[in-house]
Structure 1
């Protein structure tokens, strides 16, 4: 019996021995593909960082936000121009990617493995972009002052609410009833109109010496509130995309859950923040402040995702909470290098995925997209300009300057476009129209703001 058992084992082993070369070949192939995926990711990051720095430096030298340069750089390296950085979700294949072509010519990538390597490389870059937007919202939360938000006066609150409701309602209704855009993409585009870039406006106000003026304080307070309201709107709209349906009950549930999550996270976080400081003070290893903060931020982001909200809402709440601690300044300094690594990936990817050819007026089918872009731009400007004029009985205020100060969308508008693009809710023409709206409003706001404040300064001289 023992001999028979040994003979059977030997024969079984012998019968399987033919698989050894195949298994070895498979393992070698997988290892080779993994190496090529890493090579593709590294090459893609070189392209991302080069495009972001080149575009950012050019914009910084002409007094425009560097983030616009990152976006335009992404457009140039993406599907609209050089095809250095393309993604499967935009309809591109491995044959369209110059990164894959370069790997074929220099790293021995075989034709059989091109599609799998292309898909894996694109997925890694997309994940890094998602991490980038989470870090961005965490950083925005850190830079926001919760006490100032609570103390914001009724004037700023009125401006903020009107600045969110007016463009959102007008944009959504116009897209649905005038252009027959499906409801969910229309809601997403309308939500993108609600944002205000506090960074761009604050920089211009500081240059004009108007940051501490009454108008300046109202603009900054309203812009901060706009960001909070806009992020809640974004979380709700992105959740609608996941559910795939628009129901009043569902919308009310999402709004309540988003508000409850944000308020609950802040209240619980403020209770736990002293323990956070004590824990960090007891640690002796490197990165104790940054890594502990990221654990908190990622935990809240996960909870937000688990209850069908967006991870960015959790990251923003974490930033607001930790901004209240004595570690705020140290944490801000340590988050900056992390943001410098990941955030450009997000903005460049948004630009790279944007196909501006859908706005080419020479192609008849594109003209509707151009009309939509024009409509969004008009709503984006007028929906904010009217906010200053809602402050009734304030004749001493330069109401036009308040409205103009709320116009730029900047990086906040790009967050909306990026999340919409990643969710698949937006058509190519609608996404490109939103990008055009963000670019134009960000470009025209600084000179307009300078102009309206200059008129305010010269008006008394004209009267006398």
Structure 2
């Protein structure tokens, strides 16, 4: 079993099979939590991704303690899985501690791989050609929707709550996200996906994703240094923007070569394996220039979105995402200790106030975007603003990266998770009300075209 030692760190070779048992048992918990949570959420007409997150909260540090992690401050004695492994392997307390650390590290690594696949999938779904239909309107909405909540959240946390700069910037960055998958699903159900409002919302959400990933790459890189250096920030913004734009521009030349290679291959996986190879290579390159791996995966998705085999690739990526992405969502929920927001404990009340502040900024900062839609008489501005509210899976990416970086305090991390959950829950009913109370929406195409199921970015 010596071969597994590089992955398992200091764990003894004779305990390697028990580490594998721990990983397998943890994955059983992850998949049960994700499926049960997703099904309940779907039955209640909410996005399944929220069920996966809440399932993680229930099996994690906030409740049942089946899935806990040492980086969150947990010990092996806090995990309900460790007594099972100790009994199965007849382990000493020291050996159990090693097994706990090693299996937690592997689950965290699988979660990171899951978020890379998720961002690759989001890139594939972000059809840049759709932006030409709404042009500058979507760009204005997206820019306001990123800048307003980011500035208000960051400055507010620093001035009102004395939160240090790096954690405040990370929380502000989490406020910039918009879930195109959740919004497009509700718009489709309302028959508004192809309306003027629907097209602006979807186009703005795509741009919002691009800007948000750049912000996340910059903020995550700042977290590694632990300080805000103006020149470093400028370098990160320029390099992240150049990386994405360069990937998109080179994609026009790369796509033909990619299809040529794929067409020559004869063995199983001839499309998905080259695509994942490209995604992982882009993720590596992003990491190598001190950006986040997810930026490279997202760029790879944007590039391959332009290929003639895009729809086929979408279908082949889905099963892979179904296996890995739930690990990320459940892990994010499991690591968040929402108990720190318990109002009964006096010292927790500041965390609740921070959570309320973030929720307020998250809603107002997006709703106001509708009033920056110019040159569109009769447009439903409230619907556009409300459509930008849900954070969904994109917000969870921010929370997950922030948690992994170690810069977020437990109350602030719990407040961000709470903000993501509530904005995602509130957006669908709010959007129905916004469209239901207005007769100003003007569909651009016949109703029959709206019956088609839209592509979504959730991990259903």
Match of 2:354 among 360, 372, 386: 372
CA root-mean-square deviation? 1.4
Q: Does 1:442 align with 2:428?
A: no
Matches within 5 A, 1:97-116: 97-116=79-98
Give the Cα–Cα distance (whole angstroms) in 1 for the partners of residues 12 and 169 of structure 2: 43
Match of 1:406 among 380, 388, 391: 388
Which ranges in structure 1 are unaligned for 5 or more consecutive residues?
1-28
Q: 1:459 to 1:71 in 2, by over 3 A?
A: closer
Greater CA deviation, 141-150 or 285-294?
Answer: 141-150
Give the Cα–Cα distance (whole angstroms) in 2 for the partners of residues 292 and 168 of structure 1: 37
Aligned residue number for residue 244 of structure 2: 262
Matches within 5 A, 1:7-22: none
CA displacement 1:316-348 (0-9 Å, x = unmatched): 010111111112112111111110010000000
Aligned residue number for residue 366 of structure 2: 384
Give the Cα–Cα distance (whole angstroms) in 2 for the partners of residues 45 and 400 of structure 1: 42
Match of 1:95 among 55, 77, 96: 77
Give the Cα–Cα distance (whole angstroms) in 2 for the partners of residues 149 and 43 of structure 1: 45
Give the Cα–Cα distance (whole angstroms) in 2 for the partners of residues 293 and 391 of structure 1: 37
Aligned residue number for residue 174 of structure 1: 156
Give the Cα–Cα distance (whole angstroms) in 2 for the partners of residues 392 and 138 of structure 1: 33
SS of the residue corresponding to residue 379 of structure 2 reads: coil
Q: Does 1:344 align with 2:326?
A: yes
CA displacement 1:240-277 (0-9 Å, x = unmatched): 11122102211111100000011112222321221111
Matches within 5 A, 1:51-450: 51-149=33-131, 152-450=134-432
Q: TM-score, normalised by structure 2?
A: 0.92
Give the Cα–Cα distance (whole angstroms) in 2 for the partners of residues 144 and 112 of structure 1: 48
Q: Number of paired residues? A: 432
Give the Cα–Cα distance (whole angstroms) in 1 for the partners of residues 349 and 132 of structure 2: 45
Give the Cα–Cα distance (whole angstroms) in 2 for the partners of residues 162 and 350 of structure 1: 28
Q: 1:110 to 1:221 in 2, by over 3 A?
A: same
Aligned residue number for residue 446 of structure 2: none
Q: Does 1:49 align with 2:68?
A: no
Contact kept, 8 Å, 1:36 with 1:109, in 2: the verdict is no
State the 1:394 CA deviation: 3.3
Give the Cα–Cα distance (whole angstroms) in 2 for the partners of residues 360 and 141 of structure 1: 38
SS of the residue corresponding to residue 98 of structure 1 reads: coil
Give the Cα–Cα distance (whole angstroms) in 1 for the partners of residues 378 and 331 of structure 2: 45
Give the Cα–Cα distance (whole angstroms) in 2 for the partners of residues 133 and 36 of structure 1: 26
Contact kept, 8 Å, 2:131 with 2:138, in 1: the verdict is no
Contact kept, 8 Å, 2:114 with 2:324, in 1: the verdict is yes
Q: TM-score, normalised by structure 1?
A: 0.91
Which of the two has greater helix per residue?
1
